[in-house]
Chain A
Amino acid sequence: MIPWPVHYYRPDQWADALDLYQQLTRAGRSPRYYLGGTEIITMARTDSQPVSDLIDLKGIPEIMAHGQDGDWLYWGAGLSLARVAELDAWPVLTATADRVADHTSREQITLGGNCLSIMPYKEALVPFMLPDRVMIEVATSQGLMTVPLHDRFDGSWHLAPGEFLLSLRVLKEEARSLVFRSYKMTRLDWVDYPLVTVVVVRDPDGQIRAGFSGWGPHPLVSSQVNALLSDRSATPAARAAAAIAAMPTPALDDLHASRAYRTFVTQHTLALIIRELEE
């Protein structure tokens, strides 16, 4: 329950949502978009973050769509993680999305909600950080824009107030060409936040790219780390160690794990994955 009165709106078109957001903001209110609602409800229980208006985006057709558009695979931000896994259009996304929270919760948590979560993890976004070409569709005051993911996400999201994510897209051919591993490592429990989720793909040229969730305050991919991981002249263990040494930020130190242990787990997992991918 959100313990204060809120207003609820369910626009049927993306443009209406944008207008509404602007109107409410101009009126001095604090609107929030939502899809599944899990995070907004959770946060409202412990924060007194002012949310005055809920704008439910699930009525917008584009946000619930999925499928193939020419050479592109796309997923609407409003699809539940369970639905994303069930569609299984991109196995690395399936594997990663299917390890978020628990089975029941994945019926409610949406792809967009997870990717834009205020939590550090955003696991479902990590697979999208790995291919060369990933586009997102954003509703903006200039209209619908399809832009490269990295234009709007570089660790943090860059969406202007009122803008929202409609869908994520990858090139089908590229997506399918990637061999992958996606391992979520936790303190102990299957259902828990990740100490680290390591998603690694190998492209047809043998180049390795790794994405990490839980390592730092945002999911991250580093070209330097990828270069070290791809250096076949070294052993997997040595490459993992070099990659860890080159991580752009130190590992988080929190309730789930100390920095040193998180580093150990990540390094071990990386080495394991490289061995598996190259066997």
Chain B
Amino acid sequence: MTSIGANIPRKEAPNKVTGRARYTRDLYRPGTLYALIVPAHIAHARLLAVDTREARALAGVKAVLTGADAPFLTGDVIEDHPPLARDKVRYWGEPVALVVARDMATAQQAAALVHCTYDPLPVVNSIEDALRADAPLVHEAVGSYTIATPPASPRPHSNIADEANVTKGDSDGALKASDVIVQVHVSLPQIDHAAMEPRVATAEILADGRVLIETSSQAPFEVQKLVAQYFQLDPGQVTVSVPLVGGAFGGKASVQLEVLAYLASHAVGGRVVTLANPREVDMESSPVGLGLEADVTLGATQEGRLTAAILRFYLDVGAYADSAPRIARAIAAQCTGPYRIDHVHADVYAVYTNHTYTTAFRGFGHMPMTFAIERAMDELAQRLSIDPLDLRQRNALRPGDRTPTKARLTPSNLGSLSETIERLKPLIGWNGGEPYPVAPHRIRAQGVAAFWKTSSSPPNATSGAIVTMNADGSVNLSIGAVEFGSGAKTTAAQILAEALRIPVSRVFIHEAVNTDTDPEHWKTVASLSTYMVGRAVLDAAQDVVRQLKSLAAVVLRCAPEDLDYGNETVFVRDDPSIKLTYADLALGYQYPEGDSIGGQIIGRGRFMIRHLNLLDQETGHGRPGPAWTVGVQAVEIEYDDLTHQYRLLKAATVLDAGHVINPAIAHGQVRGGMAMGLGIASREAVRYGPQGEFLTNQFRSYKVLRLGEQPDAYLVEFVTNPQVDAPFGARPLGEHGVLAIGAALANALSRATNMSINQLPITPELIWQQRRNAP
């Protein structure tokens, strides 16, 4: 009866196939008013006036808010972000006003009646624009903002929101001594999370001062904390609840609509206000994923041993910093990819532009970073005429090595990239990477790329679990992790079932999170739920077992140490016929005479990641996460050298999963990540016009992969070197399918076309253009 390793259906699955699954926008409260963001349709301007008179005059309009109604700055790390534009507009789509009306249609009409007067400013429309000596400044006050969560190093009088550096060894010297040097410049656009559920938040302020927020968030506890902070409330006054979330991918970890919804509710006397992003607003006004320009220089010996790396990453973080400083540090900490390089220097710059601001995106910066490194690795393999998979094998990080930030690697915290590489070969049918023709003008090629990632979580991230036992001995599990499709709730239930030795059907877990009743879980991000929540659940399970045993010991007149448990009973180890059922003990034990002892079994568990620290600002040294997940991915394509179109034939991933708790969910997560990564690499891009106009705010212009465009085969395998401190040895894997698959595609196409394809997305037009420009 083991729940671990079994394909347990998602707890909420029946609701999801019957329309009974409820998301934030499905929850109607009587009396609800509707708010709508009025987005700026200019990318950079002084905001001279916002005329709301006409909008206010419209029947049914309850309030129209502008920047003047929100005189404070928000920001996860750097407080640089007015909730509604004040004095200045910094991106196309920036909220300049918020209308509140009795219904959605009235709100939409009112939004069209808000008139802004702008004084246009020159637009910072690219990283290159931003870094020019005479560049217009996106933030004039860049050096003087409050740093809410250090570290962050904004550079005064510049567009550099932050920079992070890592130095290990003597990279310049080692590079000079290298036999061979490759240099690659990569260029990746911003991308959109495009979760199917657009962001939405509802707020209500009760007469007693309590604030009820319902939101499609990955970070309910962060919402609680920040709303309390911005509006000078006690955190306990603020209840944040999150029902099922319709996809997140990092985009719902940032706090935006909740603040606006609070402001809207406050403006209408605390009434319930729902702020639901239309898709267009969700894409252009709410945060997207960062763009990247990077220069990678790798040095190696003739035998293909990496000797030095000098790396420069410029992140297009858009108009506000949000999580960028954290992402910059995550990129710095993992900057080499999963390879041993003794001499490294990396500079990561978070660059302000007049683009939509950015936040976490599945992989937390590791996807674009990996693209840069893995393109360079393939160039190196080609230069040295080494099988690209062998090159990766030769340089794979191994236990005993140290990361760029000098964290020590162990079998537990690293797993084995080497094993994943060996497993990939038969899985994809690795042919050494040489392209080969299959018909006139048709060329097949394979490309590979490897990844690693750790959590880059704050060193004080915490998680909790509460288990209460029902009269029949079944249990209720309460955790703070949000269910947005990753199976966090189901996995936690499996872990508890295993620990209490009961079937998973005896664990009840509500699909929502409520900050009043659920214990804190930092944020449902970084693929950490299994690890953090899982450890808290195990802790709670131990507490339950201890309580069961101590109560049973009294009744059975033995020492708790004499007892064991299983099959929903607590029994004497050497005579299992002496036993009590969980049900006998669940709400306290009642003797036949009627008198009772004990009380409800309530297990309490908690977990905090140990031994993490903030990276040293000078050297960048430190330990950014509890463990890394490593893996390797491959793509096989067929390229037509007349039309420059290509077909995806196979996509493969082997990663070190440590131990797989739910194979069906794990495979689904990895395949889903691969699909997203292939979509990003082949077609996705946020695009801006010459004046910073946001051009891709619908699925007609922001294209994502549809059915029929996927590879003929997705191949996924796991190797299992346990992470000793993780529940059942399981490593994080929720984000990882996305990390290197785009690089693998670019590597395959670079080989098939015999060109270096170093930008995304790789459309046939891009290949055609590059071919045309080739000498």
A residues near B, CB below 8 A? 1-4, 45-46, 48, 187-193, 255, 257-258, 260-261, 264-265, 268
Contacts and interface: CB of A to CB of B under 8 A. Distances in A.
B768 interface: yes
Contacts of A3: 104-109
Contact of A268 (B280, B643, B687): B643
Given A188-B764, A189-B706, A190-B708, A255 B687 contact: yes
Interface stretch (B88-96, B613-621, B696-704, B716-724): B696-704
Nearest to B762: A188
Contacts of A191: 706
B105 A192 contact: no
Contacts of A4: 105, 109
Nearest to A193: B700
Contacts of B700: 192-193
Contact of A188 (B109, B112, B701, B703): B703
B709 interface: yes
Contacts of A187: 683, 703, 763-765
Interface string B678-718: 00001100010000000110001101001011000000000
Contacts of A48: 112
A275 to B, nearest CB: 12
B769 interface: yes
Contact of A255 (B109, B695, B768): B695
12 contacts: A1-B105, A3-B108, A45-B278, A188-B709, A188-B764, A190-B706, A192-B703, A255-B687, A255-B696, A258-B769, A261-B765, A264-B768
Contacts of A261: 765, 768-769
Nearest to A4: B109
A2 B105 CA distance: 7
A188 B642 contact: no
A268 to B, nearest CB: 6
Contacts of B104: 1, 3
Contacts of A257: 765
B709 A190 contact: yes
Interface residues of B, number: 28
Contacts of B708: 190
Contact of B642 (A46, A192, A193, A268): A268
Interface of B: 104-109, 112, 278, 280, 642-643, 682-683, 687, 695-696, 700-701, 703, 706, 708-709, 763-765, 768-769, 772
Contacts of B682: 188
- Which of B106, B112, B708, B765 is most buried by chain A, counting CB atoms within 10 A of its CB? B765
A189 B645 CA distance: 11
A120 B506 CA distance: 59
B280 A46 contact: yes
B638 to A, nearest CB: 15
Contacts, number: 53
A188 B683 contact: yes
B51 to A, nearest CB: 16
A265 B767 CA distance: 13
Given A193-B700, A255-B696, A261-B769, 9 more contacts: A187-B683, A187-B765, A188-B682, A188-B683, A191-B706, A255-B695, A261-B765, A264-B768, A265-B643
Nearest to A1: B105
A216 to B, nearest CB: 19
A252 to B, nearest CB: 14
A188 B763 contact: yes
B362 to A, nearest CB: 21
B709 A189 contact: yes
- Which of B107, B687, B701 is most buried by chain A, counting CB atoms within 10 A of its CB? B701
A193 B703 CA distance: 11
A187 B767 CA distance: 12
Nearest to B111: A3
- Which of A188, A192, A265 is most buried by chain B, counting CB atoms within 10 A of its CB? A188
A255 B701 contact: yes
List the 10 shortest-distance A-B pairs measured between CB atoms, nearest first.
A3-B108, A3-B105, A261-B765, A48-B112, A189-B703, A188-B683, A188-B763, A3-B109, A4-B109, A190-B708
B646 to A, nearest CB: 10
A157 B112 CA distance: 31
A101 B704 CA distance: 15
A258 to B, nearest CB: 7
Contacts of B112: 48
Contacts of B105: 1-4
A11 B58 CA distance: 32
Contacts of A265: 643
A189 B765 contact: no
A4 B764 CA distance: 42
- Which of B105, B683, B764 is most buried by chain A, counting CB atoms within 10 A of its CB? B764
Contacts of A260: 772
A79 to B, nearest CB: 24
A48 B728 CA distance: 58
Contacts of B701: 255
B41 to A, nearest CB: 11
Nearest to B279: A45
A173 B701 CA distance: 41
B683 A189 contact: yes
A54 B720 CA distance: 63
A268 B683 CA distance: 22
Nearest to B765: A261
B138 to A, nearest CB: 25
Contacts of A255: 687, 695-696, 701
A4 B59 CA distance: 12
A47 to B, nearest CB: 9
Contacts of B772: 260
A268 B682 CA distance: 22
A189 B763 CA distance: 10
A1 B108 CA distance: 10
Contacts of B765: 187, 257-258, 261
A2 B703 CA distance: 25
A190 B112 CA distance: 34
Nearest to A271: B642
Nearest to A256: B701
Contacts of B764: 187-188
A255 B697 CA distance: 12
A124 to B, nearest CB: 18
